[in-house]
Amino acid sequence: MTAVLDAAGGASAPAEVFEAAVAADERIEPRDWMPDAYRATLVRQMAQHAHSEIIGMQPEANWITRAPSLRRKAILMAKVQDEAGHGLYLYSAAETLGTSREELLDKLHAGRQRYSSIFNYPTLTWADVGAIGWLVDGAAITNQVPLCRCSYGPYARAMVRICKEESFHQRQGYELLLALSRGTEAQHAMAQDAVDRWWWPSLMMFGPPDSESSHSDQSMAWKIKRHSNDELRQRFVDICVPQAESLGLTLPDPDLRWNEQRGHYDFGPIDWDEFREVLRGNGPCNEERISQRRRAHEEGAWVREAAAAYAAKHREADA
Ligand SMILES: [Fe+2]
Ligand SMILES: [Fe+2]
């Protein structure tokens, strides 16, 4: 971010420098002045995003030991490890705003910060791994590609790498579903069942409709967000319909049809009551996900202690 000079050639007030940088599409960096609400909004969004990455490891990790071949197991392990890495980039990016990873994890474990509601649904069959890759990672990419141009530098830069990895996730899911869809009748049915269960929750991943989204306007003005929830949801539907056709699978929405006038696919109403219930903690797996996360954190205490002791020993040796 470059300094902005006023008409007299003197430096402007920090708020004006910030506004001018955002208007000029420059990046805000950790040491730059920023409004408290901008910082708080970013911390909330990045924390929720980081939490979603690490909680999102659970539904799929559930299938690693039961992957049908060595190739599928290697792909799934790589994908789940990527998600752990995404969590780490994002916690690190959030730390540049003055919040520690410990603090964010404590809030997650205490139920004071959220993660994406999609991860409160169960993975019932192997085909769910494919449906998650195709639809859930696909929806994540649609949401995250515009975040590569987010006004906050560390978040935008973390997103560039994350999006490349998400693209691999989406493709492996698509390829897995294609194999099942072209397989036996039972395999095809399993793929269709998974898509039937994951389609609507994937559409909910874009958040509430624009008419009800409380944070959107300010986030758009700050260029944290570049498109509204409904715009991104529509973009996702438009991408998925032809892909479902190539997969030989159907999407579970009788109202889905091309609208010549709008140049988009129309789709049926989303069950926002279900979305709110899952957010309130009443989804099929909320309890299981958070207790598993707490347990993993407790069981990992010795790793954190060992890493801290190792770092301290090296600091001493360097001093
Ligand atoms: Fe991810
Ligand atoms: Fe992913």
pLDDT in tens, 19-60: 999 999 999 999 999 999 999 999 999 999 999 999 999 999
Q: How many A from CA of 140 to the centre of ligand 1?
A: 8
User: C-alpha angle 158/159/162, rounded to 5°?
Assistant: 95
Helices assigned H by DSSP within 212-285: 216-221, 229-247, 272-277
List Cβ neighbours of 149 (8 Å cut-off, separation of 6 or more): 25, 156, 223, 226
Q: How many A from CA of 312 to the centre of ligand 1?
A: 31
Q: How many A from CA of 318 to the centre of ligand 1?
A: 36
Q: How many A from CA of 57 to the centre of ligand 2?
A: 9
Q: How many A from CA of 161 to the centre of ligand 1?
A: 10
Look at residue 191 in the predicted model and tell me its pLDDT. Answer: 98
Could you tell me the two tokens for 215? 């944070």
Ligand number, closest to the Cα atom of 167: 2
> Which residue type occupies 125?
T
Q: How many A from CA of 41 to the centre of ligand 2?
A: 23
Look at residue 5 in the predicted model and tell me its pLDDT. Answer: 52
Ligand number, closest to the Cα atom of 134: 2
Look at residue 217 in the predicted model and tell me its pLDDT. Answer: 84
Q: How many A from CA of 86 to the centre of ligand 1?
A: 5
- Over residues 256-289, the pLDDT tens digits come to 999 999 999 999 999 999 999 998 889 999 999 9
Strand pairing category for 264-266 and 257-259: antiparallel
Which segments of the chain have a pLDDT < 50? 6-7
DSSP 4: -
Q: How many A from CA of 183 to the centre of ligand 1?
A: 29
CA distance 105 to 149: 27
Ligand number, closest to the Cα atom of 116: 1
